[in-house]
Copies of this chain bind each other. A is one copy, B any other.
């Protein structure tokens, strides 16, 4: 049962006056439940509870945090049909997608549970004392990661489960030992509340302190702004637009005590089509890319919005194939009238740019809120001159740039903004002749793909989902995979600290049996 209220710690609360509803883009109607935006006093209470909870949560063992994370996954799965139906009614996405994304979310929670149960993630390091060292004795120093403090998480419109309430940012923060306050995404407030209830139930079942989690409804920017500016908030996670992420980054940087903001933002995910690939496999790649561009109505961060090739007959054929293939695909529902509204505006703005030609557009009648896919093309020199053409059009839209030469291709790549991904499509050994192209592309991206599509972000330790600005606000971290925990922790040293008072991770006897760096050697042995 969705109440429309906020979770202020373990308590449902609705003291505010601002209310709103979610929208079903498939039926083109508002959903019925009324949500009450968190009021100033509720925000303050949530932060005070989180600050207090941090004092005990930071000391909770990896084993207990693991139980908590696994229990969140169980509770989410136990929500069953209500969660899936709410998800679909608030996003226009299919039930299969809901099931898939729930599976991904549950997998992420279990991954972090396994990580903290095993325990070596804290990167324990110990340099033991040497009282005989000259000219001065060597002290005993031991280090491990400790949590930063309360983290604010902004849910993503396009991933109501995997990158929202109990998504990657939250799971990583809990694993680290940080309380989380979620600024719920207004487009899927019901999904958010259900998942929040799962977190609260899991916290109660596994004995976690009240305040470890709050879920704040919000329809505008005020709640988020209050949270990010609050002195007791110590870090921020965000997935969304460049404008939104940058605004939060700026607020955090202007605080008296600046705090880290990890914002995963826009990307056009350039794809480089090398000459032999387009010549020999142009038709196949066109079909593959028509599917990638339209996957999830083009509403993925890794959607390929830019395809770069060398001008000529083969590229012309590729554009034709891609245009033919993409119109064969049935349009699908987009997330919200605001999302499709922005898509239509950005598309129109792009199509109004001088020199941009539209080569394919789905003209058939579609239901309200369904996104019509579009392929466009432009000359390399035009693209270079007009940086408006470098901007993301969030939706099933892509642009093929016809470069004059390899030199121009390299110049274009080097002038792109930072990207989540870059892809090279090449035939056999052709890529070896384009090492400067590859090098330039590596400089601009967080992940580089050979002969594949950028959509599909594998959850595994080797994944980087991030990249140079504006793909993210800090390319030194990833939003996906267990290493994303490093966004929410800091290294901490104990000097000459009594063994019995050290955390278990750093005790001589290594009671947790974790891997540690002892005097420069990785080992599980006790000291």
Write the residues of chain A forming the contact surface with B, with a CB cutoff of 8 angstroms.
55, 125-127, 136, 138-139, 141-143, 146, 148-149, 249-250, 253-254, 257-260, 417-418, 431-432, 438-439, 442-443, 446-452, 456, 458, 460-464, 466, 468-470, 473-478, 483, 486-487, 489-498, 501, 515, 517, 520, 522
Contacts and interface: CB of A to CB of B under 8 A. Distances in A.
A463 to B, nearest CB: 6
Given A127-B461, A143-B463, A495-B447, A431 B501 contact: yes
Given A126-B462, A127-B458, A458-B127, A492 B447 contact: yes
Contacts of A477: 491
A466 B497 CA distance: 19
Contacts of A494: 447-448, 450
A151 to B, nearest CB: 13
A460 B522 CA distance: 15
Contacts of A126: 462
B483 A257 contact: no
A448 B491 contact: no
Q: 5 tightest A-B contacts by CB?
A: A253-B253, A447-B493, A143-B462, A464-B493, A127-B460
Nearest to A501: B431
Contacts of A517: 461-462
Nearest to A447: B493
6 contacts: A141-B447, A143-B461, A258-B473, A260-B476, A450-B496, A515-B522
Q: Please give the count of copies of this chain that the complex contains.
A: 2
Contact of A451 (B141, B468, B496): B496
Nearest to A252: B253
A302 B258 CA distance: 22
Contacts of A141: 447, 458, 460, 462-463
Given A142-B462, A448-B497, 16 more contacts: A55-B439, A127-B462, A143-B464, A249-B253, A253-B254, A431-B498, A432-B501, A442-B492, A446-B493, A447-B492, A448-B492, A448-B493, A450-B498, A462-B517, A464-B491, A464-B493
B139 A458 contact: yes
A304 to B, nearest CB: 14
Contacts of A492: 442, 446-448, 464
Contacts of A460: 127, 141
A482 to B, nearest CB: 10
A370 to B, nearest CB: 25
Contacts of A452: 139, 495-496
A163 B304 CA distance: 44
A469 B258 contact: yes
B491 A478 contact: yes
A468 B258 CA distance: 10
Contacts of A258: 249, 253, 469, 473
Contact of A449 (B446, B476, B496): B496
A495 B127 contact: no
B462 A490 contact: no
Given A55-B439, A450-B498, A490 B461 contact: no
